[in-house]
Structure 1
Amino acid sequence: MTDFISQLAALAGIDTLMQASFRGVEFDCLATRDTLARTTVNYAYPYRDGATVEDQGLNPVNFRITAFLWGRDWKQQLKSLITAFKASGPGELIHPVYGSIPRAQFLEAGIEKQAETMDGVTVELVFIESGEEQALFAAASADQSAQSITSTGNSLLDSAASAFSTAMSDLRALENGVERINTIVAEGEYVLDNVSEEIQSAAASVSNLLDTPAALVSDLKSLVSTFSDTLTLTGSGVTSGWQQATRLAQHVVSYPAKYVQNRSVTTITKPFRLPLSQVTAVRDSDTQLVTRTVRLVAVSELAEVAATILQNESTTPSLTSTQIEQVTNSVRTVIVDALTDQRTALQTAETLARASGLTSDGRVHATIITHLQTLALTLQRQAAALIQQRPPLITRTVTRRCNLHLLAFDWYTDASRAGELLRLNPSLGNPNDIQPGMTLYAYAK
């Protein structure tokens, strides 16, 4: 009956229905009812009339709209409206009275179909006005996470340089300490020379590690950063760039041990009485010191490269969720190795100090461990936030012969997402010949 009256009113030029829309889906309204309320707290006291009322602010405005979908295509109108309701988060509501409400959160819809209304349905809608997110509780952006990782990495390198310099200073007071220092310096220079040769950089070490041992950290960081700046960390070059970065990090960590092997020197695991000046020898503890130091440089650089990749992914996606996990797990594996090194060094120092009746100062190692844990946590949160921004990854079955562009249009009504499907299915043989029955990975929406 309402449908018939509305049609007669339209023919007569009488506008009995109000126009509204949500997320761009238009619909007609029969009535609106909006509620404004304030939150108050009443303070009442025994044997005293009345109460003191404290105003704590305006509640979100509640919008109740009676929508009326009519005409021969009312079912299609209803489907479009339900699709808009299923989207998460607030959307723009065009209210028939107030106009545009940019952030309206849909709450519920009651669909009422009566037998007497042949080509129409009534939908009772409820919205509330959503405010802007507060910065205090908002998740850190990709840029903020990348900056935090860079800052933590710099602090880690400062602590690594301090620990290396302190260890070298302690060696000077030991018997045959000068020979051990010379060996450690030779190992450090070997690392710098090989890294410079591998990345084909003319910026060889210009610092004297004998005078400034901490220069091992700064010079090595400069070399690996120069190499990272040449990598493509966005688009189709992300995978190749990341593989090159991880390969260089692995080589950096392996160079101290290769120095011992290539020089065919004697490795000393226990002290002996012969002066080191009479033999070509290196202690395990000295090689571990160099390895531990260069590993921290590799960790810092890999974390920064991974953070840059994740930062780029937030604007120009090129990796799947699985690949993002792989990048994050690769860095966390290197961090775990560095943590193991630091904890072993801390325990060794405590054991030696206890044997001498002294107390070990483990503050530098503890600081390095804290920085490593912070790097791992920050990177994990950045990756998790990036993955959560994307729709769930599911498997879908192809129902007709087509190519990826047609398939993207069938599934998302957007042919430009063909590249996304190709990225999610790297093993796909021919993207121009998709056969019925094939199962492909795709985002849920």
Structure 2
Amino acid sequence: MSWSENMQDASFRSVRFDVINTRDSVERALAQHEYPYLDGADIEDMGAQPRSLQLTAMLWGDDYESRLQTLLQALDKRDAGDLIHPIFGSMPNMQVKVYQVNHEAENVDACTLDIQFIQSKTGNPFFVTGYPTSQADAIFNKIQGMIDNANTLIDNALKPLRTARSLMSKAKSLATAALNMVTVFKSEVTGFISSTTDFINYPAAFFSDLQSTLSLKSASSQSSAGKSVGAYSTATPTSTTSTDIASQVALQTYAATPGLIMSDWSAVYAQAKSVASLPVDLVTGEKEAPVAMPSRTTTADIAELITLTSLAVTIELTEQASAILSEDTLTAYMTPDDVETIVNATRQSIQDTIDQHRTLYAPALSTISSSEQPLGLEYEPVISALKDIALSLQTLGDAVINARPPLTKRTVNRVANLHLIAYEWYGDFSRADELQRLNPKLRDPNNLKPGDIINAYSE
């Protein structure tokens, strides 16, 4: 990806201008320690000095003088301001150090400005854009590490149930609920194959079955476009088979109906949440149990199963969200609100799972010294991993939003439709579809009035 694809409109204190060139520099503060009769010196790196940015701005046109005055007023204001760099994007806390206005006889109705900015606060980097693909890879790696910790936790949590007679009633409730879940999956999920029905002795295998079920349900709930794009994303880079053709057709479908992306996500989310509620529904009778549940079974009796199912659902939603947000061909048709919807829903699922783990396992901290199973210590790595995953997902969402030009609100200045506005603002009438996606609540896109304010990308 080159800067020509992501160039942003430069501005300072919201005053826009064109840029001919930029020169961005960083100088290290080095302390040089020299010693008598000893060649050389010890160099101590004291950190970076304030970042410096020099750019050449250009204004032209019949109204360049008025725009020049507006820009000069912004440059003359005291203290630092927000700068939008054409390459690096938002750079807050930039102080004007010096500027120079240049007029040349050959350039009528035009001028250039040499402006130098300097960083006014610490920790103000030039370039902070994250790459969605790398963030998705990081999320996947964190999930794999968390699964190992979760398997250790649930295995140790169920160990007492395998031998203690006093816990036989609880063990029977858990085993029956898990058996019912497997039976339901076999009847409702095409392609599901169970590796175990013995949750008490083989919880890790049951957890793997849960993840397989959720993956199959997600695939079945998506539209044909979603399935084709998913197949394309897993194909090898050199593949030029029918998978590529199907993916192109799918992308055309998404381009023609952008709302289908969020519709697919909503279907996946609904399917996952139906699995999350299944253990409770079997106990309360909301879902008919193929195998009769033991009498007087409560949700507290199957708390471990409920918590593990919630974790599997959270993993599935996180993987689906990261897959969508790391695919450029999909995010091209998504609005910032769409990205926020996916990230917020997934982070809420993560928070719910964290709360369930704390409720179930936190009391074990008070008996950590006397208990044979260190559950009070083993649930913390799972929660820590979930927190890291939530942060990575938030970073991924930010990277997707920041990869696009800044979203602004612009005022319509005459009677027009979206196609005319797109041509007037961008020189490309085909971006009317983009404006429509950014303004889903727009009542009549063919009858815009002067003074109407709509969302639009700055570039």
Give CA-to-partner distance per residue, 1:21-77, whole Å, 9 cap, x none.
Answer: x99979xxxxxxxxxx9999766678x9x99798x9xx9999999x9999xx78779
Q: Match for 2:191 among 182, 202, 214?
A: 202
**Could you report, residue by residue, the CA deviation over 1:233-253 in whole angstroms, capped at 9, with x for unpaired residues?**
874222111111221222112
Per the alignment, residue 225 of structure 1 pairs with 215
- Work out the percentage of aligned pairs sharing the same amino acid: 26
The residue type equivalent to 1:405 in the other structure is: H
Equivalences for residues 155-304 of structure 1 within 5 A: 155-195=145-185, 197-198=187-188, 200-209=189-198, 211-230=201-220, 231=222, 232=226, 235=254, 236=258, 237-262=260-285, 280-304=295-319
Q: Which has the higher contact order (CA 8 A, sep 6+)?
A: 2
Q: Which residue of 2 aligns with 1:88?
A: 85
The counterpart of 2:362, out of the listed 320, 344, 347, is 347
Q: Distance in 2 between matches of 1:119 and 1:375?
A: 56
> Residues 396, 214 of structure 1: CA spacing in aligned structure 2 closer, same or farther, 3 A cutoff?
same
Q: Determine whether 1:111 maps to 2:101.
A: yes
TM-score, normalised by the number of residues in structure 2 = 0.65
SS at match of 1:282: coil
Q: Deviations over 1:261-311 (max 9, x none)?
A: 22999xxxxxxxxxxxxx634354332111000000001011111111211
TM-score by length of 1: 0.67
Cα distance, 1:155–1:124 mapped onto 2, change above 3 Å: closer
Over the residues paired in the alignment, what is the CA RMSD in angstroms?
Answer: 4.6
More divergent stretch after superposition (360-369 vs 231-240) = 231-240
Q: Secondary structure at the match of 2:297?
A: strand
Note closer, same or farther for the CA distance 1:418–1:120 as it changes in structure 2 (3 Å cut): closer
Structure 1: which 5+ runs fail to align?
Answer: 1-21, 27-36, 92-106, 129-136, 266-278
Distance 1:253 1:64 in 2: 55
Do the aligned partners of residues 218 and 382 (structure 1) sit closer, same or farther apart at CA in structure 2, a change above 3 Å counting? same
1:374-409 alpha-carbon deviations (Å, 9 max, x no partner):
111110111122222333333323222222111111
Task: Name the CA distance, whole Å, in 2 between partners of 1:127 and 1:424.
Answer: 35
Range that drifts further, 394-403 or 226-235: 226-235
Q: Is the 8 A contact 1:40 1:53 kept in 2?
A: no
CA–CA distance in 2 between the matches of 1:162 and 1:262? 31
Amino acid at match of 1:419: D
Against the structure 1 CA distance between its residues 123 and 157, is the aligned structure 2 distance closer, same or farther, given a 3 Å change threshold?
A: closer
Q: Which amino acid aligns with 2:297?
A: V
Asked whether the equivalents of residues 349 and 360 of structure 1 are also in contact (C-alpha less than 8 Å), the reply is no
Does residue 1:145 correspond to 2:159, yes or no? Answer: no
> Which runs of 5 or more structure 2 residues have no equivalent in the other structure?
1-16, 22-26, 72-82, 89-96, 118-126, 231-250, 289-293
State the Cα distance separating 1:217 from its structure 2 match. Answer: 0.7
Select which of 325, 338, 355 maps to 1:323. Answer: 338
Query: Partners in 2 of 1:118 and 1:166 — Cα distance?
Result: 79
